[in-house]
Structure 1
Amino acid sequence: MRTTAVAAATALTLLTAWEGAHSATAAATTAAPKTAAVAAAGECRVLAPGASAVAEKAVAAACEQIGVWYTWGGGHGPQPGPTYGQVDPSDPDSAHDPERLGFDCSGLVRYAYHRAAGGDPLTGNAYHQFHSPQVQQRFTAGQGTAPLLPGDLLAWGSGGSVHHIAIYLGAGKMVEARESGTRITVSDVRLGGDYAGAVRIAPPAQAPGTFSTWGTDVWTHKEPSTTSPRVHKFPGPTTVRIDCQKHAEPVTAEGYTNDAWSYLPEYGAWITNIYIKGPAWLDGVRTCP
């Protein structure tokens, strides 16, 4: 009986030791993804010298969002910041986006530069940001990453469209809100496919001839007329640069009538001055020839 008791006690001791070791291994296994996530988040920082203070602040602001959900349409509320998304009819993975608080690609860029520069300098979608009047310098796809600095915006698209935008960190890395079902992360820069090039942003001072639109779903046109082909739609207030203005077709909207139209060189399009914040005939803007 004593031998049996000793054997049982020994077995119990071995079992307890095994369970303790197994629990420690399981805990380590469970903790591993968190450690990896922390390591990944640690990589999200300025990885090269030469960027402006504003650009470095934009990188820092974007990196604070590592792990936040990508959500289609996220970040485009009245004020910069995460919002619940929408279902993208072309992407089944977006089915849960209305339940996810986060950013899409341009929503993240908008938020980062809002935090860095104040105001709301990069409104609109990826196309609007790539063609923003706040752009100081442009880089072609063929130039690769060699001339880029942290904070520069990389864009993807073809045929004049831009469907994705991300923030460069340096050393061939970028931070991005990529697609539904994923979270904001650090990625290797993808120079293949439809990579369209990059731009350098110089916000905080407002450039001459820069104004803001107002209203929602405002279309620009190929000519200063509502019957001419539509070019681009501003889903909400957007900062634009106006080259010149002219008197053309009278337009009545929101209780106002105005025959002044402004030319937006970044879009190659016209917009009625009704949807430009300011007087009916804009101060300091030349008359188009």
Structure 2
Amino acid sequence: MLHRTGHSRTLLVGTLLALLAVLLCTPATPATAEGACRVLAPGASAAAERAVGAACEQVGKGVWYTWGGGHGPQPGATYGQVDPTDPASEHDPERLGFDCSGLVRHAYAQATGSDPLDGVASAQYYTHRAAGRFTAAQGLAPLLPGDLLVWGTSRHLHHIALYLGAGKMVEAKQSGTKLMVSDVRLTAGYHGAVRVDTGPVSGHVFRTWGSGVWTKSEPASAAARVYALPGPTTVRVECQKHAEQVTSDGHTNDAWSYLPDYKAWMTNIYVQGPAWLESVPTCP
């Protein structure tokens, strides 16, 4: 009887040791596994869910972050560039991948069959296709999967990611890392979010010209700067008014347009079209 008990104990100890070895040798599932990257909340549009799926597909493939990646003539992964300020980017020219805005561009191109978000993070946040914008103070409560989260200031938004729901996001974070799922960082310069409308564009839409054109908090040249349009940009104009007369680049005009997506004004000098825009109402 004692012999059997000792034998049973030996078998039990052996079994436990074997189980422990299996647990120690089995790799943990990484946070960026394809199964962890998916729509995590209800309520998003079908296009937004497709955008999340397209981004998560790249996560599942183990695609790298590459500085400047994803900004070729067509959406999709491209070889990156060396960022002079980041030593970790030395291998980016050898890797096919995306930077943060390149991933967002690819995701919504796959979702829509077009290229609605070509541009860097600032251009994507200030898109004329915005269905809604949310401030940092609102937190995550109003957000839906597929919404675009941005970090930085109104003048310079330096990072963008896609919200998954449940406090998670999918992002191309930085050189030396692969695309990943992360907790949303609300305390590291988080600026807010935008919801993309992939349907027909509403409102009065115009194209600007020139580069480095500042939008202003008021229709006056001395007013606070809000955001500099990096180059020709498609914008929505809500209304226009006569205000300070401005002379710039050989043109003089006193008409200013209000751009609701920027919550700012710009002189009509840099809006393609007549000095006073046709069909656009006068601001009250």
- What is the TM-score with the length of structure 2 in the denominator? 0.72
CA drift at 1:141:
1.9
Equivalent of 1:57, from 46, 50, 53? Answer: 50
Maintained 8 Å contact 1:126/1:163:
yes
Maintained 8 Å contact 2:70/2:102:
yes
CA drift at 1:123:
2.5
Asked whether 1:177 is paired with 2:172, we answer yes
Moved more, 263-272 or 124-133: 263-272
CA drift at 1:243:
3.6
In the TM superposition, 1:107-186 aligns within 5 A as 107-158=102-153, 160-186=155-181
User: Are the structure 2 counterparts of residues 145 and 115 from structure 1 closer, same or farther at C-alpha, using a change threshold of 3 Å?
Assistant: same
Maintained 8 Å contact 2:236/2:259:
yes
CA RMSD of aligned residues (A): 3.7
CA distance in 2, matches of 1:129, 1:162: 10
CA drift at 1:280:
8.5
Q: Which residue does 1:20 correspond to in 2?
A: none
Give secondary structure in 2 for the equivalent of 1:133: coil
Specify the code of the residue in structure 2 equivalent to 1:219. Answer: G
Maintained 8 Å contact 1:262/1:273:
no
Maintained 8 Å contact 2:246/2:267:
no
User: Are the structure 2 counterparts of residues 87 and 146 from structure 1 closer, same or farther at C-alpha, using a change threshold of 3 Å?
Assistant: same
User: Are the structure 2 counterparts of residues 210 and 121 from structure 1 closer, same or farther at C-alpha, using a change threshold of 3 Å?
Assistant: farther
User: Are the structure 2 counterparts of residues 274 and 142 from structure 1 closer, same or farther at C-alpha, using a change threshold of 3 Å?
Assistant: closer
CA drift at 1:258:
9.9
CA distance in 1, matches of 2:141, 2:224: 39
Specify the code of the residue in structure 2 equivalent to 1:107. Answer: G
User: Are the structure 2 counterparts of residues 42 and 164 from structure 1 closer, same or farther at C-alpha, using a change threshold of 3 Å?
Assistant: same
Q: Which residue does 1:270 correspond to in 2?
A: 266
Q: Which residue does 2:186 correspond to in 1?
A: 191
Specify the code of the residue in structure 1 equivalent to 2:193. Answer: A
* Unaligned residue ranges in structure 1 (runs of 5+): 1-24
CA distance in 2, matches of 1:137, 1:122: 15
* Unaligned residue ranges in structure 2 (runs of 5+): 1-20
CA distance in 2, matches of 1:191, 1:140: 11
Give secondary structure in 1 for the equivalent of 2:58: coil
Give secondary structure in 1 for the equivalent of 2:141: coil
In the TM superposition, 1:1-289 aligns within 5 A as 36=29, 40-66=33-59, 67-158=62-153, 160-212=155-207, 218-222=211-215, 231-234=227-230, 238-244=233-239, 249=247, 251=249, 264-267=259-262, 268-270=264-266, 276=272, 283-286=278-281
**What percentage of aligned pairs have identical amino acids?**
58
User: Are the structure 2 counterparts of residues 174 and 264 from structure 1 closer, same or farther at C-alpha, using a change threshold of 3 Å?
Assistant: same
User: Are the structure 2 counterparts of residues 273 and 203 from structure 1 closer, same or farther at C-alpha, using a change threshold of 3 Å?
Assistant: farther
Specify the code of the residue in structure 2 equivalent to 1:48. Answer: A
CA drift at 1:210:
2.3
CA distance in 1, matches of 2:143, 2:257: 33
Maintained 8 Å contact 1:124/1:238:
no
Specify the code of the residue in structure 2 equivalent to 1:234. Answer: P
User: Are the structure 2 counterparts of residues 93 and 39 from structure 1 closer, same or farther at C-alpha, using a change threshold of 3 Å?
Assistant: closer
CA drift at 1:211:
3.6
User: Are the structure 2 counterparts of residues 121 and 94 from structure 1 closer, same or farther at C-alpha, using a change threshold of 3 Å?
Assistant: same
Specify the code of the residue in structure 1 equivalent to 2:191. Answer: A
Maintained 8 Å contact 2:32/2:180:
no
CA drift at 1:168:
0.7
Report Cα offsets for 1:48-102 as digits up to 9, x if no partner.
1111111111111111111211111212222222222222222121222222221
- What is the TM-score with the length of structure 1 in the denominator? 0.71
Specify the code of the residue in structure 2 equivalent to 1:41. Answer: E
